[in-house]
């Protein structure tokens, strides 16, 4: 199984506006003020199909995520639309991402990595699953992927021991798909961090 090609429409802005208008027109009142719904529509821009059909699929996927999750899960809030859109983009089921996020928790524990919030854990799982699919692998996170992510995370920790925490696992997962040694990757990140500091950006977790 592989990820479908990334197809940008001729006019991405018009496509986004059509999707977002459809989502607003058919949504509940509180959704119309939701940033999550806008972000979900951005993720749908590259998908083929009529806006109405895509938004109906989005709602079905989001509803399934909610129904399969516990009371305190991030799937109970509007962020589930963002997760649902990304699942549609990489053609994975709600059942798969929920199972893989639970497997990921156990692998993080085995690597002695910090716990992250459920929301960050879902994002990390999505990133690793997409990388696995792009590499022609299965819809399953491998221990090798998590081990490489852990090496990059620990390199982050060496550079910024006080601000590196569970919320940095998703960026480490994103960079795990890049070529190069973990220490070299982290050094490039640190170089960008210091360059941004030279432009008067405030140091800290948000900048990292």
* Mean pLDDT of all residues in 177-184: 94
Q: Which two tokens stand for residue 154?
A: 């620990």
Cα separation of 159 and 126, whole Å? 26
pLDDT at position 44, please?
96
pLDDT in tens, 27-84: 777 676 678 999 999 999 999 999 999 999 999 999 999 999 988 888 998 899 999 9
pLDDT at position 4, please?
60
pTM: 0.89
High-pLDDT (> 70) share of the chain, %? 95
Work out the mean pLDDT of the chain and round it to a whole number. Answer: 90
Residue ranges in the chain assigned as alpha helix (H): 12-26, 35-44, 51-67, 79-90, 94-110, 118-134, 143-159, 169-176, 182-198
DSSP 167-187: GGHHHHHHHHTSSS-HHHHHH
Q: Is there a contact between 135 and 145 (Cβ–Cβ < 8 Å)?
A: no
List, in order, residues 6 or more apart from 70 with CB less than 8 Å away: 76
Cα separation of 21 and 34, whole Å? 13
Cα separation of 166 and 170, whole Å? 8
Q: Is there a contact between 124 and 103 (Cβ–Cβ < 8 Å)?
A: no
Closest CA to 75 of 59, 87, 86, 63: 63
Both ends of the chain: CA-CA distance in Å? 34
pLDDT at position 16, please?
96
pLDDT at position 115, please?
80
């Amino acid at each position: 199984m592989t990820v479908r090609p990334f197809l940008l429409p001729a006019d991405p802005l018009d496509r986004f506006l059509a999707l977002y208008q459809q989502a607003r027109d058919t949504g509940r009142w509180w959704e119309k003020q939701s940033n999550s719904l806008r972000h979900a529509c951005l993720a749908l821009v590259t998908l083929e199909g009529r806006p109405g059909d895509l938004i109906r699929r989005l709602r079905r996927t989001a509803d399934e995520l909610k129904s399969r999750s516990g009371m305190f899960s991030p799937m109970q809030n509007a962020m589930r639309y963002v997760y649902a859109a990304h699942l549609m983009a990489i053609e994975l089921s709600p059942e798969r991402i929920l199972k893989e996020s639970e497997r990921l928790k156990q692998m993080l524990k085995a690597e002695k990595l910090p716990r992250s919030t459920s929301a960050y854990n879902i994002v990390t799982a999505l990133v690793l699953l997409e990388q696995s699919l792009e590499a022609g692998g299965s819809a399953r996170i491998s221990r090798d992927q998590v081990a490489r992510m852990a090496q990059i995370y620990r390199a982050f920790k060496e550079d910024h021991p006080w601000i590196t925490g569970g919320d940095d696992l998703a960026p480490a997962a994103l960079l795990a798909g890049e070529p190069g040694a973990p220490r070299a990757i982290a050094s490039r990140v640190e170089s960008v961090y210091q360059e941004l500091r030279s432009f008067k950006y405030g140091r800290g977790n948000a900048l990292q």
